Structure 1
Amino acid sequence: MTHRATRRKARATTALATLVIAGLALAGCSSGEGASDQSLTPEDLDAALEAGGEITYWGWSPSAPAQVEAFEAAYPNVTVKYVDTGGGGAHNLKLQNAVTAGRGAPDVSQLEYHILPQFVLGESVQDLTSLGFDELEDDFTESTWDSVALYDGIWGLPQDAGPMALFYNKDVYDQYGLTVPTTWDEFHEQAAKLQAADPSKYLAGDFGEPSFTTSMIRQAGGHPFTVDETDVTIALDDEGAQRWTSVWNPLLEENLLDTKTATWSDEWYVALGDGSIASIVSGAWMAGVLTNSVAEGSGSWRVAPMPTYGDDPTTSEMGGSSHVVMNQSENKALAAAFVRWLSHDPESVAIFMESGGFPSTVADLESDAFLGATPEYFGGQQINEVLLDSSKNVAEGWQFLPWQSYASSIFSDTVGPAYVNHTDINAGLEAWQAANVKYGNEQGYTVNAD
């Protein structure tokens, strides 16, 4: 997962995307593209590679150009036109515009896991089940496979994973005598200790990010979104959500978190570099973000397991993306063959990992080379062992809303005030739920609040 823009830029893009995502009503989402082609077989993929042709691929991964070059070298009859869309809201907006217009979509697209359901329900992506992709299930981690195996179909292949961990600045921890927290109760204790010692420093920050909030609810055992095709239940006040807010509310109310520094802003990177923010609870891809964007922190940062609720080892996942075949593709067999190579071929995965990506393939995650890596940035720590352990304990059964982009765009207006005013998050979650129930019903879904 790559974050190139500041939060302010991201908000501007999301505002534009909201106008388009608002058109994701059940009747208009597919724009007449129709259902997936189930006449294709695994043999068609190999035949397509031999016959060759040209396909277009949209994405944002730093490794994509090198992967395309390697693929074309292996299959000289195939040409892949790669378009770097920038990722995030800009990518989703561009892709949804093409879907809505009924033309202009690529053959293959990178899609974040939380966005995939809305394109699946809109019949915009190809079901890959008939192509033998179901036989690849055991090659991927359970949580990432569950992100693409939806609604009785297989709608893509995982690219990366975002098992969560605690990234912390060891120098700051040592300077103030902090103990690496293993539970959320200990996290609160250490946050209070640091603030008491130096009010200019925070153990962590939280600017009010919807993806972080839902990931935290997931770890706590929450299932706020239940989707059965067009029937949706929203329960942002379930036991798991309340378990999380019981931990997070005191941190906000006691001003123990930095809620003013926008995530991904220049100020945020500076705070990570000078120790003003001493920890980050985030996905595995954060290792690459720190390494590439916070050079002054080299040698100071370490990785520890995500704090838990007592003895419960459950973790969560944040971020990650897949590769899909768009239904507009006129050469679905060749596009599917490229997706299979892109996400599954050892050469492709190796290129992705060399760029700092965290793989979703079990063999690579458990390889000696991966687990034994000792990056200098993290003081020679074997950080991948920590991240792999997290990936094995990610809470199962998670679902996203079919309109997750829109839901994220209204988070700051509903839950955001709790971060600004240091008040009860539950009230914000209640408002977020009500707004999503209203929106979903307006778009043709049957939405209930549990």
Structure 2
Amino acid sequence: MKTPTPTPTPTKTPNTLRRRALTGAAIAATAALTLAGCSGGSGADSGAGADEGGSITVWSWEPTLDQVVADFEEEYPNVEVDLVNVGTGPDHYTALQNAIAAGDGVPDVAQLEYFALPQFRLADSISDLTEFGADELDGTYTAGPWSSVQSDGGVYGLPMDSGPMAMFYNEEVFDRLGVDVPTTWDDYLEAARELHAADPDVYIANDNGDPGLTTSALWQAGSTPYSVDGTSVSIDFSQEGTTRYVDLWQQLIDEELLAPISLWTDEWYQGLGDGTIATLNYGAWMPANFSSAVEAGSGAWRVAPTPQWQEGETNTAENGGSALSVPEASENKQLAYDFIEYANAGDGVQSRIENGAFPATVADLESDEFLNIEFEYFGGQKANEIFAESAANVVDGWSYLPFQAYSNSIFGDTAGQAYVGGATLQEGLDDWAEASASYAEEQGFTVD
């Protein structure tokens, strides 16, 4: 089988304040890269561990790692960690892919979003960490993130965070306009109509087409559009859960109830701050972005469970999240593993929580200390209680394509057309499926 090539994606991640989609030319250029013979570190010695000392390079955009690095170096004074931010999303993955292809400058640790990890795994570009005992951490993490780093019995990263979904809503806007906060998706549609009718400048949400939000919505609706069995894949956007989501979202689009504002733009932050955007169904990592970039909304916003398709249900999904992996080309694998275990399973977890991260570790999610944190931004609300409950109620059975990063990069040209009147949402999803399937076949996958 032709080795699938990791491809950048424009979707968003925790603590990332802005992302830009690649142009078609950039995507094509990246997709043209080959991985043949690129995992030059394969078979290299693992090197010394933290106790012996040494130096490693870590590529990550996650700001909470700054303190983790300082603490790690203090505990292991013979260790030097070079933390490098080569960019977020597309910039990060392009730089990593180029380093791997060149066989030069590959970091010892790399941050990979869960949906992107499988492509690097298929290309044999990241290491199986079971040789360092990563499999013994089974039970440490919540089910979704833990399953995301596993493949064929191997463990290819340690979860850094998770993104169980919740609904962030501007309580002041709902109170001012006399609209009830929705608990079901039918309520959500009705609230969208009432809010916009009461104040034409207010929209229930913004959405001009985003693959991460779409896949999370399908996941929460019980859809399983992607099936992967080795080198065989299938893509099916005709399931009941998909139809349920499409029918409702199409009404929001047709009735112009969604603000045509792109995520992670100045206009988006302004809309969150001035009440133009009334809700945001997003991952539990979002509070750090609210606090740092939407100061005008402090005290106005609250957190509630994600709306349900049936009253009384508690189904949720993941939205975002990353792991730290060890590239196969690293010559300091033991030290690299010691660092990611410290950051994602050891003392570094608490440090990251204190700096605004949402963990994937079960013990922290269940601790009274974590659950009782009062968020000043959300009016003193104990929002972690809602996030933790969401993490426990993520719907089982979801999987991403082994080339999801590429698939996400073509969303705008396919499914995204529904938001500009070029197609219905169902037609757009079908086009997305067809384009993704064509790419799969070009890469040597069998498409059922």
* TM-score interval, normalised by the smaller of the two chains: over 0.9
The 8 Å contact of residues 37 and 126 in structure 1, kept in 2 or not, is answered as no
The 8 Å contact of residues 38 and 101 in structure 2, kept in 1 or not, is answered as no
Q: Is residue 2:377 matched to residue 1:377?
A: yes
Pair 1:340–1:14, CA change in 2 (3 A) = farther
What is the deviation of 1:17? 5.2
What is the deviation of 1:23? 3.2
Q: Partner of 1:63 in structure 2?
A: 64
Q: Partner of 1:401 in structure 2?
A: 401
**Secondary structure at 1:49 match in 2:** coil
**Secondary structure at 1:226 match in 2:** strand
**Secondary structure at 2:223 match in 1:** coil
**Secondary structure at 1:51 match in 2:** coil
Supply the AA of the counterpart residue of 2:201: S
The 8 Å contact of residues 41 and 330 in structure 2, kept in 1 or not, is answered as no
Alignment of 1:27-426 (within 5 A): 28-29=34-35, 31-33=37-39, 48-258=49-259, 260-310=260-310, 311-346=312-347, 348-421=348-421, 424-426=424-426
Q: Partner of 2:10 in structure 1?
A: none
Distance 1:422 1:438 in 2: 21
Larger mean CA deviation between 160-169 and 403-412 belongs to 403-412
Q: Partner of 2:442 in structure 1?
A: 442
Following TM superposition, where does structure 1 have runs of at least 4 consecutive aligned residues deviating by more than 6 angstroms?
none
Pair 1:172–1:414, CA change in 2 (3 A) = same
Pair 1:422–1:169, CA change in 2 (3 A) = farther
Distance 1:394 1:415 in 2: 25
Distance 1:155 1:328 in 2: 14
Distance 1:156 1:320 in 2: 12
What is the deviation of 1:108? 0.6
In structure 1, list runs of 5 or more residues that go unmatched: none
**Secondary structure at 1:87 match in 2:** coil
**Secondary structure at 1:96 match in 2:** helix
The 8 Å contact of residues 35 and 123 in structure 1, kept in 2 or not, is answered as no
Q: Partner of 2:11 in structure 1?
A: none
Distance 2:256 2:243 in 1: 20
Distance 1:3 1:50 in 2: 33
Distance 1:270 1:236 in 2: 34
**Secondary structure at 1:408 match in 2:** helix
Percent identity, aligned pairs only, is: 46
Which has the larger share of helix? 1
**Secondary structure at 2:258 match in 1:** coil
The 8 Å contact of residues 157 and 343 in structure 1, kept in 2 or not, is answered as yes
Distance 1:408 1:376 in 2: 35
Distance 1:168 1:357 in 2: 20
Distance 2:239 2:380 in 1: 41
Distance 1:428 1:76 in 2: 55
**Secondary structure at 1:386 match in 2:** helix
**Number of paired residues?**
434
**Over aligned residue pairs, what C-alpha RMSD do you find?**
1.9
Supply the AA of the counterpart residue of 1:92: Y
Distance 2:23 2:340 in 1: 27
Q: Is residue 2:18 matched to residue 1:18?
A: no
The 8 Å contact of residues 253 and 423 in structure 1, kept in 2 or not, is answered as no
Q: Partner of 2:15 in structure 1?
A: 2
**Secondary structure at 2:138 match in 1:** helix
Distance 2:334 2:398 in 1: 30
Supply the AA of the counterpart residue of 2:238: D
TM-score with structure 2 length normalisation?
Answer: 0.93
Larger mean CA deviation between 116-125 and 93-102 belongs to 93-102
What is the deviation of 1:37? 5.4
Distance 2:71 2:25 in 1: 35
In structure 2, list runs of 5 or more residues that go unmatched: 1-13
Distance 2:122 2:65 in 1: 27
The 8 Å contact of residues 41 and 331 in structure 2, kept in 1 or not, is answered as no
The 8 Å contact of residues 55 and 79 in structure 2, kept in 1 or not, is answered as yes
What is the deviation of 1:152? 2.1
The 8 Å contact of residues 59 and 109 in structure 1, kept in 2 or not, is answered as yes
Distance 2:190 2:60 in 1: 42
Distance 2:427 2:215 in 1: 15
Distance 2:356 2:274 in 1: 23
Distance 1:57 1:35 in 2: 16
